[in-house]
Amino acid sequence: MNCHIRLLAVWLGLLAFAAGAADVVAPKPEPAGQTYLLQPGDILQVSVWREQELQSEVIIRPDGVMSFPLSGDVVAAGRGVDEVRADLEARLRKFVPEAVVTVAVKLLAGNRVFIVGKVLKAGDFVMGRPIDVMQAIALAGGATPFADLGGIRILRRTAGKLVSIPFSYGEVESGRKLEQNILLQGGDTVVVP
């Protein structure tokens, strides 16, 4: 019984500490409604309620399309899970009138960023959640002592063209020009010269 009283006291103390910490300026949470957009290489678990034959894992192909029985090819890349689910459900209702479809992301294999250059662990990294440039560099173990932290660039393909976005580590680290610490998109390459 004494153990339970001590645990309650510790818990109440933590609550009091948290209430006192409320005066500290906390970072703003990510905007609500930000939907993960599917990428080629992502693996989805698709199932139709009460239809054993209509349950499988599907991969989003490099062209951004996935295939599912009775639905044909469905564009998935660049869309949210709910959008793909609604599309599948509409297609399946031609054959299964009361189809209830569930789509879940099983593996985020397609949502990768690449970090190259003078970092400790260059390579490709799966983004399980949105990350910014500073976080990406941290994933790569940080920059080496010989890195040009003022000359970092983010390479991004937009509408078929390669765009180079400048990034100065020192400015962001000191709290200046924070707008350049952008959220990365799948396929971005962070170059640390």
- Tens-place pLDDT, residues 144-180: 999 999 999 999 988 889 999 999 999 999 999 999 9
- How buried is residue 44: exposed, middle or buried, by Cβ count under 10 Å (0-12/13-18/19+)? buried
Residues 52 and 99 grouped into a single domain: yes
Please list the residues that pair with 48 across neighbouring strands.
51, 101
pLDDT at residue 8 tops 50: no
Q: Give the domain CATH number at 51.
A: 3.30.1950.10
* pLDDT of 73: 95
Residues 103 and 67 grouped into a single domain: yes
Residues 183 and 161 grouped into a single domain: yes
pTM of the model: 0.63
- For 9-36, what is each residue's pLDDT tens digit? 444 454 444 444 444 334 444 444 567 8
Say what percent of the chain tops pLDDT 70.
Answer: 82
Q: How far apart are CA 16 and CA 11, in angstroms?
A: 9
Domains in the chain, number: 2
Domain range for 97 is 43-107
Residue 163 lies in a domain: yes
31: which DSSP letter?
P
Residues 79 and 120 grouped into a single domain: no
End-of-domain residue from the set 87, 107, 127: 107
Task: Give the pLDDT mean for 84-109.
Answer: 93
Q: What is the CA radius of gyration of the chain?
A: 23
